[in-house]
Amino acid sequence: MSYLHSMTCFTEGIKVLAPVKWRSLDGMVGVFWDAEGQAGARGYYLSPDPRIVIFFNDVSPFIRMTNHEGGMTGYSRPMTRAVYVPAGVPLWTGFTATHRFSHLDLHLHRDRLLRFLSPSVGASAALAALRRPVEIQDTAAIETLAGLLVGEVSAPTKHAVFAESLVAGIVAGLLDIPDHGAEQPNGRLTQAQMNRLMSRLGSCNGNRLSVADMAQTVGLSESWFANVFKQTTGKTPLQWQLGKRIDLAQKLLVESELTIADIAAQLGFSDQAHLTKAFRQVVGGTPAAWRRMQRIV
């Protein structure tokens, strides 16, 4: 049965460069765009259904995104090559420079996704996967499938089942579906979950994440996450995160001429004194003394 999606959408400073191509399938719609955004262009998107966006060129230096209204200054992160946005999650985007881009939008009916995933992973795991956002830069085989799908969206040559199978492959390759056979024993986080945390922290440019944010990233409740994180790393989530932020501060102290106050501001510390206190707690000395020592060495 064909399906028509609905989405609240507002854009400013983005122009379409070629006719939009789209195709309605069983519980899904594929839409291919070729467009250009001007410096300062922006967009807002909210859909009652899950959706996937796959870019065919690297947009991370030019487009930033956030799920917080007014969050382009404090909560934004670079747009990745492929994004899964769960149903009802708002997305704001902003262009830092003029850039031409092309992307495939997949609008997916929730029940269609559950019907596809549940027989293989179970209804509970399928529901959990649909609630978890995904943002990846290395699209690998997903981009190949997306390219084939663009052909079937733009100028169909085969039965709709072929296009639907391509969508199924993209969903299976992109969504965060747990591989129970790869889970680590004794209530520990998997390496894939730790990788997602590292990626999320990196996308925040060193700014602090709450424990709730970290738990959501790996698809666990906050209380359960805090417990298994300590078993996995030997540290609380905030202790681990502070260590990573101090690592980034050390990198900036060595590789840049930024003042300590500027580094504190860039990494989300309240002021230089706050960074200095945290730095001393982790490293054992002040940022200024540590920077002098590195330059002597």
Q: Is 263 found in the same domain as 203?
A: yes
What is the model's pTM? Answer: 0.64
Give the separation between CA 35 and CA 20, rounded to whole angstroms: 9
The DSSP line for 60-119 is TTTEEEESSTT-TTTT-EEPPSEEEE-TT--EEEEESS-EEEEEEEEEE-HHHHHHHHHH
The single-letter DSSP state of residue 57 is: S
**Does the residue 114 lie in any domain?**
yes
Q: How far is CA 96 from CA 39, 60, 67, 99, 189, in A?
A: 5, 10, 17, 9, 36
Give the separation between CA 95 and CA 155, rounded to whole angstroms: 31
CATH of the domain at 167: 2.60.120.10
pLDDT tens for 52-76 read: 999 999 998 999 998 888 777 767 8
**Does the residue 195 lie in any domain?**
yes
pLDDT tens for 13-22 read: 999 999 999 9
Q: Which residue, of 115, 146, 174, is where some domain finishes?
A: 174
CB 294 within 8 A of CB 254: yes
Low-confidence ranges of the chain (pLDDT < 50): 181-185
CATH of the domain at 199: 1.10.10.60
SS3 161: helix
Residue 168: CB atoms within 10 Å: 16
**Does the residue 132 lie in any domain?**
yes
pLDDT number for residue 287 = 92
**Does the residue 270 lie in any domain?**
yes
Q: Is 212 found in the same domain as 143?
A: no
Q: Is 151 found in the same domain as 229?
A: no
- Structural domain of residue 217, as residue ranges? 184-297
Give the separation between CA 53 and CA 146, rounded to whole angstroms: 10
**Does the residue 164 lie in any domain?**
yes
Q: Is 121 found in the same domain as 65?
A: yes
Q: Is 159 found in the same domain as 214?
A: no
Would you state the torsion angle of the CA atoms of residues 30, 35, 38, 42, taken in this order, to the nearest 10 degrees?
Answer: -10
Q: Which residue, of 140, 174, 208, is where some domain finishes?
A: 174
Give the separation between CA 287 and CA 277, rounded to whole angstroms: 9
Q: Which residue, of 174, 209, 232, is where some domain finishes?
A: 174
Give the separation between CA 297 and CA 283, rounded to whole angstroms: 17
Give the separation between CA 252 and CA 214, rounded to whole angstroms: 24
**Does the residue 3 lie in any domain?**
no
pLDDT number for residue 107 = 95
Q: Is 118 found in the same domain as 228?
A: no
Q: Is 218 found in the same domain as 166?
A: no
Q: Is 18 found in the same domain as 132?
A: yes
Percent of the chain with pLDDT over 90: 52
Which pairing describes strands 21-25 and 91-95: parallel, antiparallel, or unpaired? unpaired
Q: Is 170 found in the same domain as 56?
A: yes
Q: Is 201 found in the same domain as 144?
A: no
Q: Which two tokens stand for residue 200?
A: 């999320």
Count of domains for the chain: 2
pLDDT number for residue 2 = 61
Q: Is 160 found in the same domain as 28?
A: yes
**Does the residue 179 lie in any domain?**
no
pLDDT number for residue 187 = 62
Residue 118: CB atoms within 10 Å: 14
**Does the residue 1 lie in any domain?**
no
Q: Is 100 found in the same domain as 13?
A: yes
Give the separation between CA 68 and CA 92, rounded to whole angstroms: 8
